[in-house]
Every structure is written in C-alpha cells, then in structure tokens.
A and B are shown apart, each in its own frame.
Chain A
Amino acid sequence: MGFGGYLLRRLLLVVPTLAGVTVISFALTYLLPGNPALVKAGALATPDVVREIERQMGLDRPVPVQYWRYVSGLLRGDLGESSSTGRPVLEDFRQRVPATLELTLASLLVAVALGVPLGVLSAVRRDSLLDHVSRLLGVGGVAMPSFWTGLLLLYVFFYLLGVAPPPLGRLAADVTPPARLTGLYVIDAALTADGVALVSALHHLMLPALTLGFAVMAPLTRMVRATMLEILESDYVKAAWAAGLPRRRVVYGDALRNALIPVITVLGVIFGFLMAGNVVVEMVYAWPGLGHYAVTALVTKDPGPIQSFVLFVAVMYVFVNLAVDLLYGLADPRIRLR
C-alpha cells in the first residue's frame, strides 16, 4: 500500500476523532453555567415561557436524543442559531472564518519569516549580539501577553507615529471589500487587481499579524536555533565543509534543509497557539473574526456559537495535524508514509 492508502487510512481515522469532538462540544451546553432557555427567553420571562422554550429547544428530551439531534443537525450543516445576532451560526461563520484565517495565516507568515532567519543567524553567530537580542525578543514574545503587545503597537504606530490605521476592522471605512473569491481580502484583492482594497487590507492586517506573529515566534526561533546548533556540529556538515562546499551553501542548504524538518511540527503547535491567540488580538483590533464572535457569545452566554467555535478549532487541529504528518513524509526521506 502506498501513499494513497496511507492517506485514506488517515482520513478514515479522522471520523472517530471528530465524533469524539462533537461529544465534547455537545457537553459544553451542560457545562456552561446558566440555562440556555432562560438566556434565550430573557430575564423577565415567566416560568411557563421558559418551559415552552425548553420544549422548543428539545432540552426536555433525554440526553442521547438531544445528542443525536445535535449531530444530525451538524451533518446537515445546521450549527444552531446565535441568539445575539439572530442568525444561523453557519452564516455567521461563513462571514467570519475568512477573517480569522487571514489573520492566522498572516501571523504564521510573520512568525516564519522573522523566526526562522533569526534562529538560523543566532545559531550561526552563536553568542553574538544578534543571538542575545534574538533570545531577548523570544523571551519578550512569550512573556508579554498579546493584548499588551497589541496595545503597545497601537500606541506607537497608530497614536504616536500615525502610520497604522485605527483598530477598527479589516478595511478602511471608505473602502469597499474586494469581490469575494476566498473571503481573504488580501488574496481576493490581489486576484481581482483591486489595488485600493489590497493596500487597505494589508495596512489593517499589519499590526494584528505582527502582534500575533511576535507572540508565537519565540518557540519557532528557539527550535530553529537549537536544531541548527546541533546540525552544525554534525558529521555531515563537517563532511560538507571538508568537501569544499561554500559556507553559505552548507549552512543554508545542507544544514537548514535538515533543520526545517522539526520546524514542521512546531508549526502545527503554533497553529494551535494562533487559534487561541486570535481571540485576544481580535478583541484588541476589533477584527471581525471568529475569536471576536466567540468572546461575544461567551459574554452573552450564547451556546450555539460557543459550541461551534470549539468544534471549529478542534476540526482545524485535526486537519492541521494530518497536514503536519503528511508534510513530514514529504520533507524527510527517512519517513515513508504507508
């Protein structure tokens, strides 16, 4: 059995994992404090009204039946309703997932684009000023909470320097969103050659992505540095040097290529951090994404969106992990997927 078989097996394994996830997201309704029917009915409702709503929501039925209704609803694409927006959760998600995805991917890009070179340079120039600065940045990224970094960046770049836009969403107020292809404004604007929207989208994405990217950069930099240090001492690097290969080629070809393999794993973990970090950063920058949505739902005790948010994050995790495993097989010839 080759790669196709492996992929099929892994995809089949996703099914029970997802089933487990639905149990947890379903259980949330019971774990969250407060009666959802009461929340929906409002503080002034009479007990009769509340009971009526409970009946409508099916809360009076046995738990397995409720679970079955929940899962079969999911399979039909019914994620429930948000009592605060009054719309199906699926529709809200359709609007907000691209915003979150855009921010997450941009942050990942920032983290990789800054973190990997910094880690490599730190390793190559071990104990140099650069190495110390990079380690300080790493500690800072971990130690400073994102909402604080976010506010700090806003203070400097928006308030003091005036080079960043106000933290009010994904585009300037007078810019119309680009035609929707993927929902990621930057990509859509680039694809439709909508220069105005592209500039505005990038402008607005800049600080949030930097905030979030900075927070997750540290583990990446440290990992790359440690791996590179180890690899630079390895026999095959010595052998490459002894064979007369130029230093650059040895460091950025032979060594880095090997160092990037464990980085794939870290990227998977970082992706998880980003999903969590989104919540805070989206609040700071009024970014209309899922994190923002989930916090609002939590504050208003709105079970549908909360359940769906948990489900969404879990599903992302499952697929990111799958992607990490598959990438590993491609990057490392010692691992054969079958």
Chain B
Amino acid sequence: MTELLEVRDLSVQFDTDEGVVEAVDAVSFGVRAGEILGVVGESGSGKSVNALAILRLVRPPGRIVGGQVRFEGEDLLTLSEEEMRAVRGARISMVFQSPRTALNPVLTVGRQIARLFELHRGASRRDARRRTLEMLTRVGIAEPERRARQYAHQLSGGMCQRVMIAMALATSPRLLLADEPTTGLDVSIAAQVLELLRDLGRRTGAAIVLITHDLGVVAEVCDRVTVMHAGQLVEVADVRTLFARPLHPYTQALVRAIPRIDQDVAMEPIPGAVPSLLMPPPGCRYADRCPRVLDVCRRERPALLVAAPEHEVACHAVEREGAVAIR
C-alpha cells in the first residue's frame, strides 16, 4: 500500500544543562492516504515532539538528529527552509491543543484564516475573505460574518477549535496533524470536534494523525493506532486488533487501564511513571515498569517486528515467548 507519509528512524534530542534528552528515539511509522492514524501514549512519551518534527518545527534547544520524513515521495528533512514553508500549512497542517492560546489574540479570527488563502493560494484580499466565510460555515460556525470579525477571547473553546480546524483545512492539505485537539473541551463539544475532523477528513481525502492520550477517542475515530512510550514506538496495529489482541505489555496495560462501566472489573493503573529521557539506558525503556521483563530488555533495544498482518510490535518478551508467530 502506498504511504502518504513515511517516517523512518526519526530521532529528536534536546540539549539541556543536565545532558541530552532523547525525546523521540528512532521512531518509524507510515500514514496512508485518507486514514486516521492515532498516536497514543502518556504525557511525555514524545507524541507532540514527533508531530512537530514532521513539520520541522522543533525549536532549539531541541533538534532533529536523524531519520527520514518522506512525504509524497520527498524527504522533508532535506528540503530548504523556503521549500519547507510551502509544505507547512499548505500540504501538511497542524491543529494544536488548547485552541484558545493557539490563536493570535490581537488578530481577528477571520484575518487569521484569510491570510492563509492569500499566502498559499495567492488569493486577493476579497477572495480570501469570501473563502474564509465559506470555511467557517463548513466547520459549523453560525453567523460566520460576525464571528470572522471577532477575536479569540470572544469565542468559546469549542468555537476556537473549530476556527483552528478551519485554518488547518483552509488550503486542503493532504495530511493533518492534530495534537490533542479535544483537550480542555467538555465531553459533548469534544465529540463534536472529533466528528467534524473525521467528517472533513473523509470529505477532503486528507489523512489525519490524531495525537491523544485518550484511548476512547482512538477507539471511536481511528483506523490504525501507534503506541508510544518514552520516545519509542512500541506497537502499531489496526484499531480492532489493538483493543482485542494487544501484544506489547505496555499496550496491554493501557487497555486494562481503560475504566469500564459494562463489566465489574477494577481499573488497573500502570505502575511507575514514564522514565526520565535524560541519557536513557540502552534497551527497552519500558523495562523498569514491565511485568515480563527479561535480561535482554535492559541491554538491547527491541526491533519493531511484524507479528501479524497490520500488526507490528517491539518487545523481546513477545518475540522470545513466541506468543505469536513472528515472521
């Protein structure tokens, strides 16, 4: 299957006073045209940095230290800054968490959308304004004329996120990176925003990378899921498989940590916290929290191996115990 985006061994480090923080460690995954790929993991697992790295927006002291980001055939990491700008916002765009702070407080929301049409599509001011109103209507904002003249502080959180989505989809990108787009929104609004994302993604054919720590969200909207832990990618599977037959101990723990109301089982929190990424030891970063830890786990980093069709996992225990046929 042709992949729209193919990330190979992407690594991002932050130089701090205490040492080098390996925020993203040789992560590889692909995004297919039109799909919704979930990226899950606890806070600090490198999900957001990963997305920023795809757009080459990691700012010092952080830097991309290696890997490839192939998008529609070209490696984004080799483009000039100028060429990269034509990718950002036009072919790949991003929706941030906390929509209220992601909008410029001194520009009207209409202006913030309109200028993207002017920038990427060379639209005239008038034309850009017309298309902005269209866009606002498409993301379900009533009274677009009035809203376009307002500032972020005059809109509700949900409406701000709709504006962000309008901004992100304004220039019909092929790929949308959505970083926790529903954090801070109340449940019903969050559901509407997700619905909107899925709907618009389907209609425009844009693929969506949905970064979230909420497995409920993943189950609801994603086609496939990648699981990240402490900057490493531990498992990739289609959404059904991931919930039905998770292989990596971390994923299994994540799934068990989902509160259930239909069964009388206690929710099981995952022991320990995400380990420090400051000069981490070699090997699997989940080793210290893992119930199935082996000696090799602390020495060698497990490779991401195909466990079944549409299912890859990086775990020595799974590999060794041969719980599944590894090809």
Q: Contact residues of A with B, CB < 8 Å? A: 233-236, 238-247, 254, 257-258, 261, 331-334
Contact = CB atoms under 8 A, between A and B. Distances in A.
Contact of A244 (B52, B104, B108, B120): B120
Interface of B: 52, 55, 57, 59, 81, 85-90, 93-94, 96, 98, 101-108, 115-116, 119-120, 151, 153, 164, 167-168
Contacts of A236: 101-105
A239 B119 contact: no
Given A244-B119, A245-B119, A334-B151, A239 B106 contact: no
Contacts of A254: 104, 107
B128 to A, nearest CB: 14
Contact of B105 (A243, A244, A246, A333): A333
Contacts of A245: 85, 89, 115, 119
Contacts of B94: 239, 242-243
B96 A238 contact: yes
Given A238-B57, A239-B94, A333-B151, A244 B103 contact: no
Contact of B57 (A241, A246, A261, A333): A241
B96 A235 contact: yes
Given A236-B101, A238-B57, A334-B153, A243 B89 contact: yes
Given A235-B98, A235-B101, A236-B101, A242 B88 contact: yes
A243 B93 contact: yes
B105 A239 contact: no
A242 B106 contact: no
Main secondary structure of the interface of A (DSSP, over half): helix
B164 A239 contact: yes
Nearest to B150: A333
A331 B105 CA distance: 11
Given A243-B93, A245-B119, A235 B88 contact: no
A257 B111 CA distance: 14
Given A233-B59, A243-B88, 8 more contacts: A239-B96, A239-B102, A243-B119, A244-B90, A245-B85, A246-B85, A257-B107, A332-B106
Contacts of B104: 236, 239-240, 254, 258
A64 B88 CA distance: 73
Contact of B86 (A239, A241, A244): A244
A1 B52 CA distance: 46
Contact of A241 (B88, B151, B164, B168): B88
Nearest to A261: B106
Contact of A334 (B85, B98, B102, B105): B105
Nearest to B100: A235
The 4 closest A-B pairs by CB, nearest first: A244-B89, A243-B89, A244-B88, A242-B94
A239 B87 contact: no
Contacts of B87: 244
A30 to B, nearest CB: 50
9 contacts: A235-B98, A238-B57, A238-B102, A240-B104, A243-B89, A243-B119, A243-B167, A246-B85, A334-B153
A246 B55 CA distance: 14
A263 to B, nearest CB: 13
A31 to B, nearest CB: 46
Nearest to B60: A126
Q: Which of B81, B102, B108, B168 has the most CB of A within 10 A?
A: B102
Contacts of B106: 257-258, 261, 331-333
B119 A234 contact: no
A251 to B, nearest CB: 13
A242 B93 contact: yes
A230 to B, nearest CB: 12
Contact of A242 (B55, B81, B108, B120): B55
Nearest to B120: A244
A258 B106 CA distance: 7
Q: Which of A234, A239, A245 has the most CB of B within 10 A?
A: A239
Nearest to B177: A242
A241 B115 CA distance: 13
A245 B101 CA distance: 18
A191 B168 CA distance: 51
Contacts of A238: 52, 57, 96, 102
